Homo-oligomer: A and B are copies of this chain.
């Protein structure tokens, strides 16, 4: 299919002196002629400014460690190296309307509490002793663990180990919040929250989603999950169980969505997250969809083909897939499984009825790789 704009149904007005003059007049009254921009603002298919990209953890890690010596966490607010999409310098987006960065905390370090409209999630790369207090609940998290910091929830972080740094990845919807003109921010009035004596209590209550504390849900009216922490061991076992019972997804292998046990929906209204397992040597089929995705390699090594280009990855690497870009994944290890953690703005696509998906049927479902 071709997408020529020189067809009836598209704007095809040739410019001339009279029109140019008219456009100037319009400009003078804060107006414009739709036909001069119509084809641009109503494209045939999505035209994201952000592009596919991959960041090697081995490049980022030393820089993150360097930051540890350069700034104090509380001076920085948070000591985070953010990933900036090569296609779009402004707005602090790694892709589409999502933000991600690597945060480092030294031994014994801790920070003050704040909250904001932006929703946040955490995925731990390395280090023992990481903790975060979210809405008064202390969560202790280790490598591979996933945790959320919902919109409007006060939160503060720290590292209670004696000798090891913690590096975790933050994922937020900051660009979305700003695109929607909805940003609010507040420092905790007492700088630190009162903390519930039982760490991870939401996991103790909701750690088996289909066994619900009776009556509790009645009092839960918030739009996000009452469960804040999802440990790696549980998702690892769950993926192996799913693999015994199901063929998985042709485009994603075995993939689980971290869900709100009270609704079965995404953990937060603007961000969702997945963990997927690729069997040794597995190569998935290509698909494309609206919505943007940030992938982090939790384990293993392989490559993904995004918009026709190959991106090789290994543990800790981060890569992104913009809206409507074809993508497929390959686990190059003949013996070990590969695990990809990812987060996305699919809940937004679904809420606004913008979700579209297409699975590649030609060429046995695989893209031609350019270069």
**Residue A334, interface by CB 8 Å:** no
Give the distance in Å from the alpha carbon of A214 to the alpha carbon of B43 in the complex. 30
Q: Say whether A41 contacts B178, CB under 8 Å.
A: yes
Give a binary string over A181-203; 1 marks a CB under 8 Å from any B CB, 0 the rest: 11111111001000000100111
Q: Name A75's contact: one of B35, B114, B177, B258 (CB within 8 Å).
A: B35
Give a binary string over A203-227; 1 marks a CB under 8 Å from any B CB, 0 the rest: 1111111111111110000010101
Q: Which residue of B lies closest to A276 (CB)?
A: B214
A82 to chain B minimum Cβ distance, whole angstroms, is: 5
Q: Which residue of B lies closest to A355 (CB)?
A: B182
Q: Say whether A118 contacts B42, CB under 8 Å.
A: yes
**Residue A244, interface by CB 8 Å:** yes
Give the distance in Å from the alpha carbon of A89 to the alpha carbon of B11 in the complex. 20
A155 to chain B minimum Cβ distance, whole angstroms, is: 12
Which residues of B have CB within 8 Å of A8? Answer: 74, 112, 187, 191
Which residues of B have CB within 8 Å of A323? Answer: 180-182
| Interface range for A | 35 or more
Q: Which residue of B lies closest to A72 (CB)?
A: B13
Give a binary string over A54-80; 1 marks a CB under 8 Å from any B CB, 0 the rest: 010001100100110011001111111
Quick one: copies of this chain in the complex?
Answer: 4
Binds B, one of A124-132, A262-270, A308-316: A262-270
Give a binary string over A4-29; 1 marks a CB under 8 Å from any B CB, 0 the rest: 00011111110000110010011101
Q: Name A79's contact: one of B35, B46, B82 (CB within 8 Å).
A: B35
Q: Name A181's contact: one of B39, B96, B264 (CB within 8 Å).
A: B96
Give 22 pairs: A residue, B residue, CB < 8 Å, sorted on A: A9-B113, A32-B82, A35-B78, A44-B186, A46-B181, A47-B183, A151-B353, A180-B290, A181-B290, A198-B244, A204-B242, A205-B245, A208-B235, A208-B237, A209-B261, A210-B261, A211-B230, A211-B259, A216-B246, A223-B353, A260-B264, A348-B351
Residue ranges of A at the interface with B (Cβ–Cβ < 8 Å): 7-13, 18-19, 22, 25-27, 29-35, 37-39, 41-48, 53, 55, 59-60, 63, 66-67, 70-71, 74-86, 91-92, 96-97, 99, 101, 112-114, 116-118, 151, 174-188, 191, 198, 201-217, 223, 225, 227, 230, 234-235, 237-238, 241-242, 244-246, 249, 252, 255-264, 269-270, 274-276, 290, 292, 322-324, 348-349, 351-354, 356
Complex A-B, nearest 4 residue pairs according to Cβ-Cβ distance, in ascending order:
A209-B209, A9-B187, A209-B210, A181-B323
